[in-house]
């Protein structure tokens, strides 16, 4: 099985689905993390180019921690991802290039505009990726489903849960690779005050989902397509 996580920024994959990606990688599945941007707005006094270089290196380290086969960057600008046909076709090309069985991305309703636009681009590109008359450099691809992740809010109510018990430390280690961003989020204040003690907060959210589903720790998703199972278990 091949999984493609398309995320807006370095650290998004680790925070929202790091345990799931590591678990699939350990099973022998192919895992790719594609970052829309290099997160060049995530800093204070450095230039955007310097921040991007740091964050890309951190993302490669965290991807290695999770066991990802490929960590790539799609060249969009942090904070400036726009919805357009041109950008949608860029994501079509990304999906076709990697030809995944499953795509993971942001939930459509999120505080961060990059997350919202990424979700819409990926969802619409998923529909276009299988169409033979949509011309790109790679052949059509037809992933089985898209799974959305997000912050636990009134609008995001996951219906699919992955037991990541035993992967808590590895997920935390992956997040810790983003040293510059963890520091930025914990000191930014204002709208990002929720990121105080980021690693501990993420672990607490996963433990809450775990308690809800009868395991120690879990990550939650909303599937684009609800699919029937042959049996309940």
pTM of the model: 0.92
Higher pLDDT, 96 or 156: 96
The pLDDT value recorded for residue 193 is 44
2-223 under CATH 3.30.420.80, yes or no: no
**Secondary structure letter of residue 192 according to DSSP:** G
The pLDDT value recorded for residue 195 is 54
Give the tens place of pLDDT for each residue, 73-118.
999 999 999 999 999 999 999 999 999 999 999 999 888 899 999 9
Euclidean distance between CA atoms 40 and 137, whole angstroms: 28
Per DSSP, which regions of 65-117 are E strands? 70-73, 102-106
Residues 6+ apart with CB under 8 A from 170: 18, 19, 22, 65, 66
Give, for 147, the enclosing helix (H) or strand (E). Answer: strand 145-149
- Which long-range contacts does 149-154 make (Cβ < 8 Å, 24+ apart)? 149/16, 149/17, 149/104, 149/105, 149/106, 149/107, 149/219, 149/220, 149/221, 150/16, 150/106, 150/107, 150/109, 150/110, 150/115, 150/222, 151/110, 151/111, 152/205, 152/208, 152/209, 152/220, 153/109
Mean of all residue pLDDT scores within the chain = 91
Give the tens place of pLDDT for each residue, 128-149.
999 999 999 999 999 999 999 9
Give the tens place of pLDDT for each residue, 178-206.
888 766 766 664 444 455 678 888 999 99
The pLDDT value recorded for residue 41 is 81
- The structural domains of the chain, with segments of one domain joined by +, span 2-223
């Amino acid at each position: 099985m091949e999984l493609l996580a398309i995320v807006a920024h370095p650290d998004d994959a680790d925070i929202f689905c790091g345990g799931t990606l590591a678990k699939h990688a350990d099973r022998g599945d192919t895992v790719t993390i594609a970052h829309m941007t290099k997160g060049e707005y995530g800093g204070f006094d450095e230039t955007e180019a310097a921040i991007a270089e740091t964050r890309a290196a951190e993302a490669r380290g965290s991807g290695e921690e999770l066991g990802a086969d490929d960590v790539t960057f799609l060249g969009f600008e942090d904070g400036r991802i726009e919805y357009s046909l041109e950008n949608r076709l860029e994501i079509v090309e990304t999906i076709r290039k990697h030809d995944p069985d499953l795509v993971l991305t942001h939930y459509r309703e999120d505080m961060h505009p990059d997350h919202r636009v990424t979700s819409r681009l990926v969802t619409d590109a998923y529909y276009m990726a299988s169409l033979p008359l949509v011309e790109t450099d790679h052949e059509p691809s037809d992933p089985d489903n898209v799974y959305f992740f997000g912050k636990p809010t009134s609008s995001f109510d996951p219906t699919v849960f992955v037991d990541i018990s035993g992967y808590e430390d590895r997920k935390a280690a992956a997040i810790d690779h983003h040293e510059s961003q963890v520091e930025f989020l914990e000191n930014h204040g204002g709208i990002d005050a929720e990121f105080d003690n980021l690693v501990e907060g993420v672990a607490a959210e996963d433990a809450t989902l775990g308690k809800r589903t009868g395991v120690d720790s879990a990550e939650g998703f909303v599937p684009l397509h609800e699919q029937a199972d042959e049996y309940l278990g």
